[in-house]
């Protein structure tokens, strides 16, 4: 029987090499780190159903979303995945409230606006619900994107470089809000980031990826202090510790 949480196996030789086996428990945050082009975003897209690998299996919350051996591949709208992109991907012609409400097709129409307002309040945007994306700062747009991801009642949150387009002060604020959201929703969270300090500060575990391979998984402090190989150190742009150090 599949455990609650998220389990992922993805395998293919081309066009994007993948040799991925990972898991993430409810309320756990797993950071995916590695060089550009290493496959991190492809992993998120495969979980969300936006990309189908040659072979693989994705199980979330006890439900099989992908099993290539069995011919199972649920379309994205049937996967309860909340995906937040680096550049927000908001509908420019919709207000903040409408952007969040648009993700609630699974809810009765009469419930949608009240729930969208609750989610905007959770990300501290309850006074800006009538503003359009062009009238919001980058940090505010990212908060709307987070609220919209939560509007799907997700079984997993997939965050693809969500804080890289905002300045350091706003990033700290968003980190704090993500901690609040994490406590509220208690679902597995996968965070793709190039910022090792961000990964170490936010994530419970770190998965180092290079050319589609999972090279090392562990507590961030352990991985960063003791990379398992020269390839891991190179993927993280770290110096290898001296023998016996």
Give me the CATH number covering residue 22: 3.40.50.300
pLDDT greater than 70 at residue 54? yes
CB-based contacts of 10: which residues, under 8 Å, 6+ apart? 18, 19, 20, 43, 46, 53, 55, 56, 58
Q: How far apart are CA 104 and CA 115, in angstroms?
A: 9
- The angle subtended at Cα 86 by Cα 75 and Cα 5, nearest 5°, is 50
CB-based contacts of 63: which residues, under 8 Å, 6+ apart? 155
Structure confidence by residue, pLDDT tens digits, 189-222? 999 998 899 999 999 999 999 999 999 999 999 9
CB-based contacts of 138: which residues, under 8 Å, 6+ apart? 88, 165, 166, 170
**Span 138-166, mean pLDDT?**
91
Is residue 166 in a domain? no
Between residues 244 and 38, the one the model is more confident about: 38
Is residue 66 in a domain? yes
In this prediction the pTM is: 0.91
Query: Mind giving me the DSSP string for 125-159?
Result: -TT-TT--GGGS-HHHHHHHHHHHHHTT--SEEEE
pLDDT greater than 70 at residue 239? no
What rounded mean pLDDT belongs to the chain?
91
**Span 169-184, mean pLDDT?**
86
Q: Which domain holds residue 224?
A: 1-80+188-245
Is residue 113 in a domain? no
With beta carbons less than 8 A apart as the criterion, state whether 82 and 116 touch.
Answer: no
**Span 26-40, mean pLDDT?**
94
Is residue 97 in a domain? no
Is residue 63 in a domain? yes
Confidence of residue 1 (pLDDT cuts 50, 70, 90): very low
Is residue 135 in a domain? no
Is residue 124 in a domain? no
Is residue 228 in a domain? yes
Angle between the N-to-C axes of helices 109-122 and 168-185, in degrees from 0 to 180, rounded to the nearest 10: 130
Strand partners, 52: none
User: How many domains are there within the chain?
Assistant: 1
With beta carbons less than 8 A apart as the criterion, state whether 157 and 149 touch.
Answer: yes
With beta carbons less than 8 A apart as the criterion, state whether 120 and 100 touch.
Answer: yes
């Amino acid at each position: 029987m599949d455990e609650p949480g998220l389990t992922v196996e993805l395998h293919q030789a081309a066009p994007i090499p993948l040799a991925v086996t990972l898991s993430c428990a409810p309320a756990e945050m797993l950071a995916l780190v590695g060089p550009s082009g290493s496959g991190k975003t492809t992993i998120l897209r495969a979980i969300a159903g936006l990309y189908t690998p040659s072979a693989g299996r994705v199980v979330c919350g006890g439900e099989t979303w992908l099993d290539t051996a069995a011919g199972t591949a649920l379309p994205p709208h049937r996967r309860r995945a909340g995906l937040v992109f680096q550049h927000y991907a908001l509908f420019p012609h919709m207000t903040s409230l409408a952007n969040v409400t648009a993700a609630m097709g699974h809810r009765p129409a009469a419930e949608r606006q009240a729930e969208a307002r609750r989610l905007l309040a959770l990300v501290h945007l309850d006074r800006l619900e009538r503003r359009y994306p062009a009238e919001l700062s980058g940090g505010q747009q990212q908060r709307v994107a987070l609220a919209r991801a939560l509007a799907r009642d997700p079984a997993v949150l997939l965050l693809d470089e969500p804080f890289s387009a905002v300045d350091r002060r706003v990033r700290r604020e968003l980190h704090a809000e993500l901690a609040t959201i994490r406590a509220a929703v208690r679902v597995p969270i996968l965070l793709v980031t190039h910022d090792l300090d961000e990964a170490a500060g936010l994530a419970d575990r770190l998965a180092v990826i290079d050319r589609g391979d999972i090279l090392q998984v562990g507590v961030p402090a352990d991985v960063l202090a003791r990379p398992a190989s020269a390839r891991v150190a190179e993927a993280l742009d770290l110096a290898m510790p001296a023998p016996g150090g």
